[in-house]
Amino acid sequence: MPSSVLMVALALGVFLMLRAWRRGKRPGQARFACGLTVTSLVVLYLASTPLVARWVAESLERQNPPVDPSTMPVADAIVVLGGSMYATVGPDGTTLLYARHASDRFETAMQAFNAARAPIIAFGGGGTGVPGTPTEGEWNRARAIARGAPADRAIAGPVALYTSDESEGIARVLRERGVKRMILCSSAMHLPRACMNYEKLGFEVTPLPSDFATRGAAEDWSWALLIPRGMALSQVDAGVKEWMGLLGPVR
């Protein structure tokens, strides 16, 4: 990821500069060390600004602009990718399950399901890492049933760690039900790579974006966009990972 690569490059540049200084070399004689340090600092700064983070996110999100879930074309199933379930354990041992970050995936997919866009809704995801808790697919299936989804039409996919094995596991379950066309719901930044995975598995995919990281046409300019933030660097990392997945083998 950019953050780790840049920090390693920065550390290497500083190390080489210190070694050159200890050997009595002037800055002009340590051009590579100085260049690596300065370049790493500049690029790390840029990658930490909301301006660049927004640009990276928009490069992915513009591929699937916002849509009304109730107007989606009819499909055989709605697939909801995991990534929002978390668990925390209190001092008394009580476990609390909750959704954050990508929780809009569930809400957006339920809107499509309640609008009768597909007769089946399937949930993917992994575990929380807390013993005794359900998988995200099982948890979201229970939440969907509590909202009125028929139990025989709500599916929990096998536990997964990555987008690749999540898609393979859900694909096996859906093929048993004769599903060929799906509405795929995920975060807008993640959706291009996710759609590519399911299309490679032979499904006809209609993307349903949710959880947008940008405001689209409502974005405006502000000098605050040039102030570095940790969240911006994290978003750049996430966006670069998605592009790497589109261009090469990323799980």
Q: What is the pLDDT of residue 239?
A: 92
The dihedral region occupied by 208, where left means phi > 0, alpha psi between -120 and 50, and beta the remainder, is beta
- Over residues 153-195, the pLDDT tens digits come to 999 988 888 888 888 999 999 999 999 999 999 999 999 999 9
Count CB atoms within 10 A of the CB of residue 212. 17
Residue 31 has pLDDT above 90, yes or no: no
Burial state string for 175-195 with b = 16 or more CB within 10 A and e = fewer than 16: eeeebeebbbbbbbbbbbbbb
- Over residues 204-244, the pLDDT tens digits come to 999 999 999 998 878 888 889 899 998 999 999 999 989 98
Count CB atoms within 10 A of the CB of residue 69. 22
Q: What are phi and psi of 45, to 5 degrees?
A: -65, -50
Q: What are phi and psi of 150, to 5 degrees?
A: -60, 140
Q: What is the pLDDT of residue 251?
A: 60
**Contact present, 229 and 48 (Cβ < 8 Å):** yes
Q: How far is CA 12 from the centre of its chain?
A: 30
Count CB atoms within 10 A of the CB of residue 211. 22
Residue 78 has pLDDT above 90, yes or no: yes
Q: What is the pTM of this model?
A: 0.86
Q: What are phi and psi of 18, to 5 degrees?
A: -65, -40
**Pairing of the two strands 95-99 and 85-89:** antiparallel
**Contact present, 205 and 197 (Cβ < 8 Å):** no
- The more confidently predicted of residues 119 and 166 is 119
Q: What is the pLDDT of residue 58?
A: 94
